């Protein structure tokens, strides 16, 4: 199981996104949080900024939609050609249809769950997904403390994914650091979003490598 680090630009210098992206060449992808001040109490980036970011990086872009009306907006981000589009199941009225539309447009389909949202009701639709994002903080703001209560859900999700026989990534987002990444990897996560830990480090790229090494060590690789 490969371990992937996808730094979040939420904690980067938003006035110099192009420059901030060049500081993490070892990253496996770039996590872009889209917030609408409705689904979550914060407002960040939208379609034009994501399109602009694409012109400044070769890294796979992972768009995380923390917005209302995910069914309508997710395909528009997939239409940009980003690598992955993640929508929140709590904001989707037709998650299977949305996932299929994302895939039809050429992006990987990913579904996010808030910490209190159980995975079990969605077990039968895992095969419609390429990734599941399990929030390890309440969505909306960077710099929050990691919620250990999500660890059992990561383990249950890994078992459900194994049962499908398919390669479905499990991503965690929120409070990921050198202190928590090992616990997430041990529980079954293989994609790690880190914002504060990376962009507040003296050397962000060195932190990307260190986080990946910790995750690999936790799995005994």
DSSP string, the chain: ---EE--BGGGS-GGGHHHHHTT-TT-S-EEEEEEBSSSSS-B---HHHHHHHHTT--SPEEEEEE-S-HHHHHHHHHTTT-SEEEEEGGG-SSHHHHHHHHHHTTSEEEEEE-TTS-SGGGGGGGGG-SEEEEESS-TT-SSPPP-GGGHHHHHHHHHHHHHHTS--EEEEESS-STTTHHHHHHHT--EEE-SHHHHTSSSHHHHHHHHHHHHHHHTT-
Sketch out the chain's domains with CATH numbers: 4-218 (3.20.20.70)
What pLDDT is stored for residue 45 in this prediction?
Answer: 81
Residue among 156, 151, 146, 152 nearest 121 (CA)? 156
Check the annotation: does 38 bind a ligand. no
Confidence band, pLDDT 50/70/90 cuts, at residue 143? low
In the predicted model, is pLDDT for residue 75 greater than 70? yes
pLDDT at 221 over 60: no
Residue 47, pLDDT score: 86
Buried b (16+ CB within 10 A) or exposed e, 63-92: bbbbbbebbebbbebbebebbbbbbbbbbb
Is 8 within any annotated ligand binding site? Answer: yes
| Residue 203 annotated to the active site | no
Q: Is the dihedral of CA 170, 133, 176, 154 positive or negative?
A: negative
**pLDDT score for 43:** 66
Q: pLDDT per residue over 88-110, tens digit each?
A: 999 999 999 999 999 999 999 99
The answer to whether residue 87 scores a pLDDT higher than 80 is yes
Tell me if 141 is assigned to a ligand binding site: yes
pLDDT in tens, 42-70: 767 888 899 999 999 999 999 999 988 99
Is 83 annotated among the ligand-binding residues? no
Q: Answer yes or no: 173 catalytic.
A: yes
Task: Give me the percent of the chain exceeding a pLDDT of 90.
Answer: 82
Question: Of 28, 62, 130, 173, which is the active-site residue?
Answer: 173
């Amino acid at each position: 199981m490969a371990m992937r680090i996808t730094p979040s630009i939420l904690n980067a210098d938003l006035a110099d996104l192009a420059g901030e992206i060049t500081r993490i060449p070892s990253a496996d992808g770039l996590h872009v949080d889209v917030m609408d001040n409705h689904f979550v109490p914060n407002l960040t980036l939208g379609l034009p900024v994501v399109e602009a970011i694409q012109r400044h990086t070769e890294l796979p872009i992972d768009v995380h939609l923390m917005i209302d009306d995910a069914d309508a907006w997710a395909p528009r981000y997939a239409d940009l050609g980003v690598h992955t589009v993640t929508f929140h199941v709590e904001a989707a009225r037709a998650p299977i249809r949305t996932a299929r539309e994302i895939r039809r447009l050429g992006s990987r389909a990913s579904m996010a769950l808030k910490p209190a949202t159980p995975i079990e009701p969605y077990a039968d639709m895992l095969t419609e997904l390429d990734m599941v994002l399990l929030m390890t903080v309440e969505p909306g703001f960077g710099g929050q403390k990691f919620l250990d209560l999500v660890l059992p859900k990561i383990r249950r999700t890994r078992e459900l994914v194994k049962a499908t026989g398919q390669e479905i990534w499990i991503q965690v987002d929120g409070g990921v650091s050198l202190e928590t990444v090992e616990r997430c990897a041990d529980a079954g996560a293989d994609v790690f979003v880190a914002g504060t830990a990376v962009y507040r480090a003296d050397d962000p790229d060195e932190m990307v490598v260190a986080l990946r090494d910790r995750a690999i060590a936790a799995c005994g690789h």
